[in-house]
Each structure stands twice: as structure tokens, then as C-alpha cells.
Amino acid sequence: MDYAHARHAGNAGDVFKHVALLAVLDELLRDPAPLEYVETHAGDGLYPLGSNGEWSDGIQRLWTDPGTPYASVALVSRYAQLVRGFSKPVAARPEVYPGSPLIAKALLRPGDRMRLFEIDAQAARVLRRTVPDAEVKQEDGLAQLAAPPRALVLIDPPYTQKQQWIDAARAAARIPGVPLLLWYPIKALTRPRALIHELAKQGVHGTAVELHWTPLRLKRDRLNGSGLIFVSLPRAPVGAVCAALVDLGPALQTHGEWGAVEIGF
Ligand SMILES: C[S@@+](CC[C@H](N)C(=O)[O-])C[C@H]1O[C@@H](n2cnc3c(N)ncnc32)[C@H](O)[C@@H]1O
């Protein structure tokens, strides 16, 4: 594999994605019927953090006293506290970062299931150790994706190749009506807008919410922002994520300004 998420764990993209995951699970778990949580690109599940890393512009920015009031109180505070729970209570900085499978596991109920795809052998081994009760498949998550009965699907590819943008849209089109969260990186708007166009062309409609923590006019090695696409989901989690932007934007901005966009399609 030409991608290892460990380098990026806990960065601003993870923060935005995992706050949204929390909001979506909050909503879907209001229904007592069992839920299957499906991830096409699950990663390691848990990432030890070195003394330097992208996490310093991500989760570190929320590493405040547990009592810090955020305007979008419940959601961002709960996310920050959930992540804090994986490090020692007195730690001045995060020691490890929980990936999406562990964020989901923290919310899922005993009757719910997790089906996790991870193509990299080493990452799949770590994932099996990290979430032993999940069904972990060392397979191509996009190729294997099928419509489960009552589920939430998270699609979170590494986007190291242009084709992954197209494959993600095509996979989304194969599961009509299934609640879906799709994450994408933003360095410029060309590919994100092409993704939305491709989804619509495939008959997939929903809402995209983007957070730009670095002005798009600045070209950097790192992300300028990221986006989340909500499909076949009620408005409540989209609204909760939009409300959280007033906390996440100021916390994650890198150059004194931030922006956000909501696109319905
Ligand atoms: C962005 S990371 C996942 C992070 C994880 N979703 C999280 O938020 O904690 C992408 C992962 O996808 C894996 N991967 C890449 N191509 C894949 C494929 N076709 N099927 C399944 N996993 C894949 C990579 O090995 C990597 O671990």
C-alpha cells in the first residue's frame, strides 16, 4: 500500500470526520432496531501518536480542559471527551488517537454489528486486535460493498489516486437508500466538485458540508480542508455538524480565517 493513515491520525480531517460520525450515529441509534456499521476503509483502529505529527493541528486543538464549553456543546465536547478517554487522564497531549471503528464502537449497542474492510494486511491485523468483536475483512471495501438491511456505511478512501474519487461515487450508487457518510479531502475544489457531479450523475443525491481550515488560495503539502457527504440521512445530523462548525472552524484554522460550505445536490 502507498498509504498509511498513522501519519495523518488525529489531523483536522479526522476531527471533522469523526465529529460527523458521532452526529450520524446519534441519530441512527435513536431507533432501537439493530444497526450494522460498515466501513469500506477502516484503517488500524487505533494509532499511537509520536511527539510531532498532523495531530498537533487537529485533535490537539481540542485538547482543552474537559469542561471547556463549545457553542455546539454536546457534540464537540462529547467527541473531545471520547478521544480523551483513550489517553491517560492527566496527559497534556493525546497519546493515541482512536480511528473511526473505535469511535463507532463507543456508541454502538450490544445488538449492533460492525463489518470492517481494510485491504492492507498489517493494518487489518492491528484492526482485528483493536476491535476483536468486529467482522474484519482484508478485502477491497469498495468492490465488496453491498446494501445491508439496516446499516450506516462510512466510505473513507485514502484518495492517493484519481480513480479512487470515481470508485467512491460508483460504490455509493450501488447502495441506494442506505445511510452513507463519505469523506473527502480538499486541497483545491476541482476534484471535490467533480465528485459531487459524479454522484449526481450516478443518481446519488445528498448534502455535502465542507470545512476549509486553510484558505484555498494557499497551496500547502497538507489539506486545506475536508468535506463530508451525507446520503439517505435525516437532516438532524447535517444540522448538528453545521452547528459544530462555529467551534471547529476557529479551533482548526491555520491562518486566521476559516470557511464552510453546504451544498445540496
Ligand atoms: C483514510 S484511512 C482510513 C481511516 C479510518 N477510516 C479512520 O477514520 O480512522 C484509509 C485506509 O484504507 C485502506 N485502503 C486503501 N484502499 C483500500 C481498499 N480498496 N479497500 C479497503 N481498504 C483500503 C488503507 O490501507 C488505509 O488504512
Is the pLDDT at 141 greater than 80? The verdict is yes
Whichever domain contains 142, its CATH number is: 3.40.50.150
Ligand 1 atom nearest to CA at 120: 25
User: What is the value of pTM for the model shown?
Assistant: 0.96
Give the residue among 60, 132, 43 at the shortest CA–CA distance from 96: 60
Q: What is the mean pLDDT of the chain?
A: 94
Is the pLDDT at 71 greater than 60? The verdict is no
Given this model, what pLDDT does residue 148 score? 79
Query: Which residue range is the domain that position 156 belongs to?
Result: 5-264
Pairing relationship of beta strands 113-117 and 180-186 according to DSSP bridges: unpaired
Is the pLDDT at 221 greater than 90? The verdict is no
Helix (H) or strand (E) holding 143: helix 141-144
Output the nine-digit C-alpha cell for 219. Answer: 497551496
How many structural domains are present in the chain? Answer: 1
Given this model, what pLDDT does residue 149 score? 85
Cα 70 to ligand 1 centroid, rounded to whole Å: 31
Question: What is d(CA 20, CA 154) in angstroms, rounded to the nearest whole number?
Answer: 11
Residues with CB under 6 A from ligand 1: 1, 3, 5, 14, 17, 39-43, 99-100, 117-120, 123, 140-142, 156, 158
Neighbours of 244 (CB within 10 A): 25
pLDDT in tens, 145-154: 987 789 999 9
Cell numbers 446499516 correspond to: 151
Question: What is d(CA 14, CA 19) in angstroms, rounded to the nearest whole number?
Answer: 8
Ligand 1 atom nearest to CA at 18: 8
Given this model, what pLDDT does residue 72 score? 59
Given this model, what pLDDT does residue 3 score? 78
Is the pLDDT at 66 greater than 60? The verdict is no
**Substitution site in 19, 46, 118 for ligand 1 pocket (most atoms within 8 Å of beta carbon):** 118
pLDDT in tens, 8-44: 999 999 999 999 999 999 999 999 999 999 999 999 9
pLDDT in tens, 155-199: 999 999 999 999 999 999 999 999 999 999 999 999 999 999 999
Q: Fill in the amino acid letter for 193.
A: R
**Substitution site in 1, 5, 170 for ligand 1 pocket (most atoms within 8 Å of beta carbon):** 5
Nearest CA to ligand 1 atom 26: 43
Given this model, what pLDDT does residue 73 score? 62
